[in-house]
Structure 1
Amino acid sequence: MNLNIGQITLIDLIGMLERKEVIINRNYQRGSDIWPATARSYFIDTILQDFPFPKIYLYQAFSKETNKPYKELVDGQQRVTTIQDFYHNKFALSNTSKKFKGLRFR
């Protein structure tokens, strides 16, 4: 097993998800709607305040169908879908975020 520690920006992660370069495997991931709105707001607030948050783990595999590599999300689905939903303006921050209450990405 090879372990590669790398960093990508959040906007790059969103792009990779949209291009299907990162796949969320629903066979072993919990549902994407587990976090309540307050937890989602608190997590985005954490990012905006530039506080650290747990790592997101990806597994790289190779698709025989497309003949290209892809990454599969192993850990971090709630965080990733929250980031993606906030980026796509799907929710505003709640009063959990004192500084950014009511803020949407756009």
Structure 2
Amino acid sequence: MPTHAQLDERARALHRLAAARVRAEPALFERVRANLARWQRDAAPQVQPYVSEWQALADQGLPACLAMAEEDSPHADALRQASPFAGVLSNAERLAFLKDWRARQGDAAR
């Protein structure tokens, strides 16, 4: 079973992949904004502080939002628990990443 630190590392790596995808296709940033708009309406109260912080980053622009998505810090790890980057990667991209991640974790355990 992966440790919490490994899960944070996986989320950070997945967000680096999503950030690269958004850099290659900046129109995907609209999906991030759409997620935030929906979550401002529908998310549970305990998630709203994260939504508000992501919204403030998105309002600063793409570079600020992507920087936080990729940042290696406990605060960024916490924010990624409520990530508006859902849907930026296709299911195939996400599943390929997860398969590769599991394989690499298995190699690391040997």
Do the two structures share a fold, i.e. TM-score over 0.5?
no
Structure in which a larger fraction of residues adopt helix: 2
Between the two structures, name the one with larger relative contact order (CA 8 Å, sep ≥ 6).
2
Structure in which a larger fraction of residues adopt strand: 1
Instruction: Select the structure of larger CA radius of gyration.
Output: 1
Superposition TM-score, scaled by structure 1 size:
0.25
Superposition TM-score, scaled by structure 2 size:
0.25
